[in-house]
Amino acid sequence: MAPRGPLPARQRRIKWGTTSFMLVMHVLATVALLPRFWSWQGFVAFGVLYWMTVLGVTLGLHRLVAHRSLVVPVWVERMLVLMGTLACQSGPIEWVGLHRHHHRFSDQVTDHHDAGRGLWWSHSEWMLHEIPALKELDRYAGDLQCDPFYRWLDRWFLLLQIPLGLSLYWIGEAAQIHGGGLGLVLWAIPLRLVVVYHVTWLVNSATHAFGYRNFDCPDLSRNCWWVALLSFGEGWHNNHHAHPASARHGLRWFEFDLTWQHIRLLKRFGLASRVRTARYVGGAS
């Protein structure tokens, strides 16, 4: 891969709004780990919302909406996308548009989280700068822009944390748990968000640097087992880049894909149809 030159002038400017938000979330996540805010109820709230949020991203935003790897009833799609939007990784239109752009230019200079610029850039630094690909959302997410629900989520995604936080605070105070309502909020919102951020960012960084390849793709994508475990199957990234329309990312018998298991469950209950899957045939490329 050719060495990368310096960033264009328009991308060198730091987006202080995004940077400040990320800094505050990381500080609050650290505060959540103080002994005074620990409780089993907080741990359970973290776990349940982690499952909801990651599944909303992997199944809702990614495999269902970005790649249309399956078809589900409208209410199921709305619910999954709402769960994914709770990850605070922008709204669904921006998330899907940037992801489709990434697949179009994966690990090229025009890729907004180009792995050729290094692990730190592809992990998170890219989002702290101007993102030229945002100007192309009409091209890459025009289908979603026609939906008022998705436009609403794109505008107000941050505010979704407010009713969630108020509900958690009330529950924590009413139940008189250790750490109170504030402890429950800290575990279920900033700590959860920060963990989900880094888990999903690892798909952009670690799986373009570590692991093995089943397919000879024209990019740096790799299959990384530990990222796959954390991200419900998204770490089988080389498989995904070879077959982006496949609802199943873990293609070999040992490549466990938790999101795929949820898709199978939806299909069993008659809530998923036209599920597209790829197969792994032969040795590694």
Q: Which residues of 114-151 are buried (b: 16+ CB within 10 A; e: fewer)?
A: bbbbebebbbbbbbbbbbebeeebeebbeebeebeebe
Answer for the pair 106, 221: CB distance below 8 angstroms, yes or no.
yes
Angle between helices 74-85 and 92-104 (to 10 degrees): 90
Convert the pLDDT of each residue in 31-77 to its tens digit. 999 999 999 999 999 999 999 999 999 999 999 999 999 999 999 99
CB neighbour list of residue 116: distance below 8 Å, 6 or more residues apart: 1, 2, 4, 107, 108, 109, 220
Cα separation of the two ends of the chain: 18
Mean pLDDT across 100-114: 94
In 3-state terms, what secondary structure has residue 212?
Answer: strand
Convert the pLDDT of each residue in 159-182 to its tens digit. 999 999 999 999 999 999 999 999
What's the token pair of residue 196? Answer: 């989900």
Distance CA 206, CA 116 (A): 12
Amino acid present at 212:
Y
Question: What pLDDT sits at residue 237?
Answer: 98
Number of H helices, E strands in the chain: 15, 0
How wide is the angle at C-alpha 74 spanned by C-alphas 71 and 79, nearest 5°?
Answer: 105
Distance CA 27, CA 256 (A): 33
How many C-beta atoms surround the C-beta of residue 72 within 10 A?
21
Confidence band, pLDDT 50/70/90 cuts, at residue 4:
confident
Q: Residue 284 above 70 pLDDT?
A: no
42, 53, 186, 197 from 182: Cα distances, Å: 10, 20, 6, 21
Residues in the chain: 285
How wide is the angle at C-alpha 99 spanned by C-alphas 93 and 102, nearest 5°?
Answer: 140
Task: Provide the residue ranges of all domains of the chain, joining segments of one domain with +.
Answer: 13-268
Confidence band, pLDDT 50/70/90 cuts, at residue 285:
very low
Distance CA 52, CA 54 (A): 6
pTM, rounded to two decimals: 0.95
